[in-house]
Amino acid sequence: MKHNLILKVVSKFLIPLIFLFALYVQFHGDFGPGGGFQAGVIFSAAIILYALVFGVDMAKQVITPYILRLLASFGVLIYAGTGVATLLLGGKYLEYGVLGSSQVAGQHLGILVIELGVGITVMAVMLIMFFAFAERGQPEEDDEGNQ
């Protein structure tokens, strides 16, 4: 369709920039506004934009629902696992001070790791919800790949 051309060209230009901005917000959440939640939502917004312009099937090839389910659990695992790691290193649960050489270094490392976990889970869950809503209206195919 001819009037889709502007959308396709502009979104091909914008989507990498949105990814970059999401990574910036994730890792600079310590020094400015931002953090795990915002970064996860912006990351998923980039893939939703891709799905809206190019079709849900092509977006599912970019990131399959199986990987999304794995990523969602992986993020929670990172978060809870950091707590268990501090338990094994001798401190209390989620006491980040024992993770590094000094109290401040350990806190910085701990905050970075758990924000990463939060970002991964939020991104995966938003995409799971979007794909579930978008796929419900399609009648069931005869030869479908997953499940």
Partner 1 sequence: MIDNIVDITLLSLLAIHAIAIIRTRSLFAVVMLFSGFSFLSAGLFIVMDAADVAFTEAAVGAGISTILMLATLALTYTPKSEKEETLPIHKPWLPLGVVFITGALLIYGTWDIPAFGDPDAPAQKHVAPYYLEKSLFDTGVPNVVTAVLASYRGFDTLGEVTVIFTAGIAVLLLIGGRRKRKPLTKTTEGSHET
Partner 2 sequence: MDLIIGHYNYWLVIIIMMAGFYTVISRGNLIKKIVGLNIFQVSVFILYISIGNVKDGAVPIIEKGVTLYSNPLPHVLILTAIVVGVATTALGLALVIRIKEAYGTIEEDEIHNQDQSL
**Is residue 45 part of the contact set for partner 1 (CB under 8 A)?**
yes
129 scored as a contact of partner 2 (CB under 8 A) = yes
Q: What tokens appear for 104 in the block? A: 């401040």
Tell me: does residue 117 bind partner 1 (CB under 8 A): yes
**Do 25 and 42 meet the contact criterion of CB atoms below 8 Å apart?**
yes
Q: Which does 115 bind (CB under 5 to 8 A by kind): partner 2, partner 1, none?
A: partner 1
Cα–Cα distance for residue pair 55/50, rounded to 1 Å:
7
Chosen residue from 7, 80, 87, 98 binding partner 1 by CB under 8 A: 80
CA distances from 18 to 39, 57, 71, 100 (A): 10, 21, 20, 33
- If we measure between CA atoms, which residue out of 54, 114, 44 comes closest to residue 82? 114
Near partner 1 by CB under 8 A: residue from 26, 42, 54, 59: 42
Site for partner 1 contains 72 (CB under 8 A): yes
Classified as helix, coil or strand, 35 is coil
Q: Which residue has the tokens 């350990």?
A: 106
Among 15, 21, 83, 87, binds partner 1 (CB under 8 A): 83
110 CB burial (10 A radius; 0-12, 13-18, 19+):
buried
Residues that bind partner 1 (CB under 8 A): 25, 29-35, 37-38, 41-42, 44-45, 48, 69, 72-73, 75-76, 79-80, 83, 94, 96, 103-105, 107-108, 110-111, 114-115, 117-118, 121-122, 124-126, 128-130, 132-141, 144, 147
Residues that bind partner 2 (CB under 8 A): 31-33, 37, 122, 129, 132-133, 136
